[in-house]
Structure 1
Amino acid sequence: MVPLFLFLWLMIAPPSIAVAAAPSLAQPGCQDYCGNVSIPYPFGIGSNNCYLDQRYAVTCNQSFHPPRPYLASLSLEVLEVSLTIQTITVNNPVVTDCRSSTSNEVLMTSNGLEGTPYLISDVNNKFTVLGCGNAILGSDGMVIAGCSSLCNQNSTTQVSGCYGIKCCETTIPFYLNMYSVSVATQGDCLSGFLAAEYWIQGYNISDPLFSVESIDMVPVVLQWTFEEVDIPGCMGDTYNTSYPLPGNTSITTWSCECGWAEEGNPYLANGCQDTIGLAWLKVTYFNLFRVLLVVEECANCKGQCSSGKNGSLVCLTRPNKSSKKEVILGHTELDLGHFFWISAGVSISMGALFLIIGIFWLYKTVLRIKNKKRKEKFFKRNGGLLLQQQTSVDKGSVEKTHFSAKELEKATDNFNENRILGRGGQGTVYKGMLTDGRIVAVKKSKIVDESQLEQFINEVVILSQLNHRNVVKLLGCCLETEVPLLVYEFISNGTLFKHIHDQSNEFPLSWEMHLRIATEVGGALAYLHSSTSIPIYHRDIKSTNILLDDKYRAKVSDFGTSRSIAIDQTHLTTLVKGTFGYLDPEYFQSSQFTEKSDVYSFGVVLVELLTGKKPISMTRTGEQRSLATHFLLSEEENRLFEIFDPRVLKEGTKEELMAVANLARRCLNLSGKNRPTMKEVATELEGIGRSNNQSSTVQSNFQEVACAGGAESVVLSDGNSTSMELKFYNSITSSSDGQPLLCNTI
């Protein structure tokens, strides 16, 4: 009965402890609040030991009521500090332009966040434009985002938030430590800035009484970073995270977190405490081990074990017995005592084992139910029910729509950094291997706006049905994670951009391959526009979204911004999205995307193939920073051959080059109605490709006999007769011994 009693006592005895109060988050002896704002360490107010270093010093301005904290290193008001997600929200001034056109550099340029541990968070902030017009966000000489707000003087909606009328907002692709904003107003005043994602919801922008000039401060969320040497005294678990930066770079930051069932400030000594009422578990384990130790002691006791103070067990020594009988009885009692305590020890040990197993089973059950509910929540939020509804109509059209999160985590080695193939505005792409041995590309999307779920799922279904040899195949998706995961076929030879612009490429593409790739991409876009059951606009055609497989065949990829339209519909009216350098100027001005907008972007890709130059270059001046403008001006000045890639000039004929250049010029026409359709473009490229093949066949029968003085005599032979022909050339390439090697036909 005693072992059972002890076991029940361990199970039901109430712990004689009090739940600890919430610990202070500041250094001991330091001010932990300024007004209503908590200032946790590594930030601090007061002397040097209150903060990690001067970059984290905070001053408390008592002239306000209540007092306001300011980050001393940036002179910005602190609104909130979060140890959990390692962010600090500050109040940042806004610059408003009230002229017809200007280019203002605002907030945190070269002397802003550079050299500090702070980055502007791409997760918690949005690029916001107030007023009427267009704004471009740049960083370190690169254009990274743009936004266009429409004017509607008759709008009287009373709904708060930003919906494209007198205001627009868009996500940013990277963490930033500096940025600049260029604006083009279409009204009285225009302001472009970065602000916390939640900020705009408090304003009714379309209210006629709303004034852009009235907004002088906005909250901005900064991510503060640590090097590993900054957290030597971490009292919890350390983690490292990589944040993407512009230019395909990243920064690794370290953080510290309290352990399970603890909270507080892990950067302080004894900063992590049990404050959620789970201390009874520790007390139970302590009592259990104490009883087991006492039982072991009583097993070796040469007398009786009895209750002592505070319920403890003590061994009472028996006096020696002189008679034989008493000795025997005493010996018998001693054996019974050993048997009793051995039984008690075994019973308690078994009870403790079952208790631990029961707690572990209960924990795993609760965790399993929690994970299941969490997956169901993400599945519904990411549009899973809508996907099931749409795929149930035509189950045979999708090879495999849904992958499990566990399957994709295993395929990508838990999304290992070493598996990253590339990062973009829509998400990060990882290389993975499925259980059946297929190599795939897994795209981890950014958080999907719930208002766009229907379009997102619609695109998943449509792309799952596409079957074109020059379109990357979408194998399926996973919606039971926090952000959607898309699974594509893996394309091994990287992007067309890399093959065009990487000078260290060991296998440069020939002109014939350039022409074939252009033809394949044109055919794929014509298929999307004209041959699918519902026309699809890609909306982000660029050389980085054109992949090359192991045989250097083109594959159009990244349909993250693509949209399908009704057959009788001529355009989409949307907030401006795309990549500068490829963006249709007509779309940028009107916010109306048509099939001819894809044609314009494809025209820029054609010029890239001809010239080998990047679509935006800071080395060119003025308007000619844009490759499209540079190309058109060069054509007007009759100096196209000066900007063509030397390899293209060497391998292509003048007729072919001029045919492709003329096609590119028509695609880049500023008026969309004067551009050809993608079907016409594809047909024309196929014709140029066929003439290229015929020309190669004829030239293989030519026997070069002389090439000097700007002319070449060639003998034409078809096996039965011969004839002599004289051809003239505009350039001659000679070998070291003076003999001609290549002549370019005029």
Structure 2
Amino acid sequence: MWVFLLMMVSLLLCPVAESTASADVKPGCQDKCGDVSVPYPFGIGEPTCAMNEDFILNCSSGADGQPELFFRRNMPARNISVLEGTISASLYTAFACYDKNGSWTDYFSQSFNLGSGPFTLSDTRNAFTVIGCDTYAGMTNYEFTYGAACLSLCTENVNMSDENPCSGSGCCQTSIPKGLKSLYYPLSSFFNYTNVSDFNLCGFAFLVDKNSFKISDWPLSLKPKYGNNAYTADIVIEWVVENKTCEQAKADNTSAYACGTNANCTYPEIGQGYRCSCNEGFEGNPYLQEGCQDIDECKVRGKNACEEGTCENVIGDYKCRCPRGKYGDGKIGCKGPGINTIIAGN
């Protein structure tokens, strides 16, 4: 009787264990916070779940009381990509508002620092953006080794349409350099909005992912909101596992080489550190020891796998075996008359 009950309990528990297992995290580690997946080398809370302390993220209650993932204490993380080596996070927008007499009514400047770890702001995905008709915003890094500015002017209301580019009239955008880790950007005005007060009393400045930016979301009549409804913009942060070359990482006995089995070491375009990617013919998480698994190309490609012959999966690749009586590579086409033609000829 007891044996039967134990077998029933085991059968009931097995599907639950399988459904909660994740191929992207270490065993026993939390794989999601809210609706955001957290793949290794990142980990939630426990140091043993992340590659090192740089990759530990915090999952706590957000503004609406629901679980929210945070990067660098106060930056909500929206998405983590192992393939691209990126994190999407959100930041409050900076703003400055005036009344019709030209007096300040609201003001907020933004600053943030990614620290000394393996994180930098993406120079290809982000753009510094300014909205307003009498708005000037400068930006510098904390080390004061970089500086730029954006000026947005207009004398009449501009239709902020997605079909119109951010051209300097009501909206200005400028790029950022590679390797930037910190930014500070306050706003100012030349005429305190007195010349445009009928349709524009506030200016905004923010760094934003160009892929998510919609200029139609920023009409010139917009005024700031606060608390849970405050305006934010998504930014893209790039990461590497270590600020070393592949050769240095493999030779360094003081730290573990990050790439698992069937994975290779690659250099990102940001020009520092290294990342890992699965070898051709494999897929999965290259930072886990057994994270890169063989792709069954015969299943994935289906009928398109072979030009001729029978598909056979092999580790890291696949073969197309030609029909009897033919020879060559069935991926591109077999040669020879074939067994049916030979029999018919006899």
Using structure 1 for the length normalisation, give the TM-score: 0.32
| Equivalence for 1:26 | 25
Q: CA deviation at 1:168?
A: 1.6
Name stretches of at least 5 consecutive residues in structure 1 with no aligned partner.
1-20, 244-250, 289-346, 363-746
- Tell me if structure 1 keeps the 8 A contact 2:161–2:215: no
| Equivalence for 2:289 | 269
| Equivalence for 2:87 | 88
Name stretches of at least 5 consecutive residues in structure 2 with no aligned partner.
1-18, 194-200, 243-248, 250-254, 300-310, 334-346
More strand by share: 2
1:211 aligns with 2:227: no
Write the deviation string for residues 430-474 of structure 1: whole angstroms up to 9, x where unpaired: xxxxxxxxxxxxxxxxxxxxxxxxxxxxxxxxxxxxxxxxxxxxx
Match of 2:275 among 230, 252, 255: 255
Match of 1:137 among 130, 134, 139: 139
Output aligned runs, 1:175-324, within 5 Å. 175-186=179-190, 187=193, 188-201=201-214, 203-206=216-219, 208=221, 210-212=222-224, 216-227=231-242, 228=249, 229=255, 231-235=257-261, 236-241=263-268, 243=270, 252-275=272-295, 277-278=297-298, 281-282=312-313
Q: CA deviation at 1:152?
A: 4.1
| Equivalence for 2:152 | 149
| Equivalence for 2:69 | 69
* Paired AA for residue 83 in structure 1: V
Q: Residue 267 and residue 29 in structure 1: after superposition, are their counterparts in 2 closer, same or farther (change >3 A)?
A: same
Using structure 2 for the length normalisation, give the TM-score: 0.65
Aligned counterparts of 2:316 and 2:182: Cα–Cα separation in 1 = 53
| Equivalence for 1:617 | none
Give the fraction of aligned pairs with identical amino acids, expressed as a percent: 26
- Tell me if structure 1 keeps the 8 A contact 2:83–2:277: yes
- Tell me if structure 2 keeps the 8 A contact 1:189–1:213: no
Aligned counterparts of 1:144 and 1:170: Cα–Cα separation in 2 = 12
Output aligned runs, 1:198-597, within 5 Å. 198-201=211-214, 203-206=216-219, 208=221, 210-212=222-224, 216-227=231-242, 228=249, 229=255, 231-235=257-261, 236-241=263-268, 243=270, 252-275=272-295, 277-278=297-298, 281-282=312-313, 354-355=327-328, 357-359=329-331, 361=332
RMSD: 3.7
Q: Provide the secondary structure at the position in 1 that maps to 2:54.
A: helix
- Tell me if structure 2 keeps the 8 A contact 1:128–1:169: yes
Output aligned runs, 1:644-659, within 5 Å. none
| Equivalence for 2:46 | 47
Q: Provide the secondary structure at the position in 2 that maps to 1:253.
A: coil
Write the deviation string for residues 398-430 of structure 1: whole angstroms up to 9, x where unpaired: xxxxxxxxxxxxxxxxxxxxxxxxxxxxxxxxx
Q: Provide the secondary structure at the position in 1 that maps to 2:287.
A: coil
Higher RCO, 1 or 2 (CA under 8 Å, sep at least 6)? Answer: 2
- Tell me if structure 1 keeps the 8 A contact 2:132–2:220: no
* Paired AA for residue 95 in structure 1: A
Write the deviation string for residues 523-551 of structure 1: whole angstroms up to 9, x where unpaired: xxxxxxxxxxxxxxxxxxxxxxxxxxxxx
Q: CA deviation at 1:43?
A: 0.7
Aligned counterparts of 1:255 and 1:284: Cα–Cα separation in 2 = 23
Q: CA deviation at 1:157?
A: 5.4
Q: CA deviation at 1:277?
A: 4.0
- Tell me if structure 2 keeps the 8 A contact 1:89–1:219: yes
* Paired AA for residue 264 in structure 2: D
Output aligned runs, 1:583-622, within 5 Å. none
Q: CA deviation at 1:62?
A: 4.7
- Tell me if structure 2 keeps the 8 A contact 1:266–1:272: yes
1:107 aligns with 2:99: no
- Tell me if structure 2 keeps the 8 A contact 1:137–1:181: yes
Q: CA deviation at 1:113?
A: 1.9
* Paired AA for residue 237 in structure 2: L
Aligned counterparts of 2:158 and 2:269: Cα–Cα separation in 1 = 44
Count residues with an aligned counterpart: 267
Q: CA deviation at 1:121?
A: 0.8
- Tell me if structure 2 keeps the 8 A contact 1:190–1:212: no
Q: CA deviation at 1:286?
A: 12
